Amino acid sequence: MIRLFAALSIPPELGEGLVARQDGLPDARWRPLEALHVTLRFFGDVAENAAADLDAELAIVTCPPLNLELEGVGAFGEGYEIHAVWAGLVEDPGLRQLARRCETAARRAGLKPDARVYKPHVTLAYLRRPNPTEVAAWLAANSLLKSPPFRATSFGLYSSWRTAEGSRYRLEREYPLV
């Protein structure tokens, strides 16, 4: 089994701006620069043969290059159950279309449908039972986050490996957006 997800990388200079905001939440598990990305579809643990099928399906996904912008911040969960803070993206129909095509590729490869509503974001930190007031203060302090536009010309299939320091990601295959 291999833990997989499809994602867009973000330019290092935008990632550095996000890393600069990683402060002010005690006990947050901030994501390092190399882990910052926009998830298109999380596949989870996949058998090796299904991973090969998934790769073949993702290789035929078509979508033009995307012009994207980071905008705003948010959190997943409520109250003491908040489990992540993230940077959002300006709404983009092409991004949603690419995510849907990754979902279709997963289904064609025999994987179960993802029941979650797609929310384009860059996870900045994972939290465990945080103080909601501190999270609200961090969200307010970072609410005006806005990046210059960046162009995504490819997406990737990444593997996720759990370590003592948190998950590490490796690009397994890159697919052009044309």
- Which pLDDT value is given to residue 166? 73
Domain range annotation of the chain: 2-176
CATH topology of domain 2-176: Cyclic Phosphodiesterase; Chain: A, (3.90.1140)
pLDDT in the model for residue 142: 97
pLDDT recorded at residue 163 = 78
pLDDT tens-digit readout, 54-100: 999 999 999 999 999 999 999 999 999 999 999 999 999 999 999 99
pLDDT under 50: residue ranges of the chain:
none
pLDDT, the chain, mean: 96
SS3 of the chain: CEEEEEEEECCHHHHHHHHCCCCCCCCCEECCHHHCEEEEEEEEEECHHHHHHHHHHHCCCCCCCEEECEEEEEEECCHHHCCEEEEEECCCHHHHHHHHHHHHHHHHCCCCCCCCCCCCEEEEEECCCCCHHHHHHHHHHCCCCECCCEEECEEEEEEEEEECCEEEEEEEEEEECC
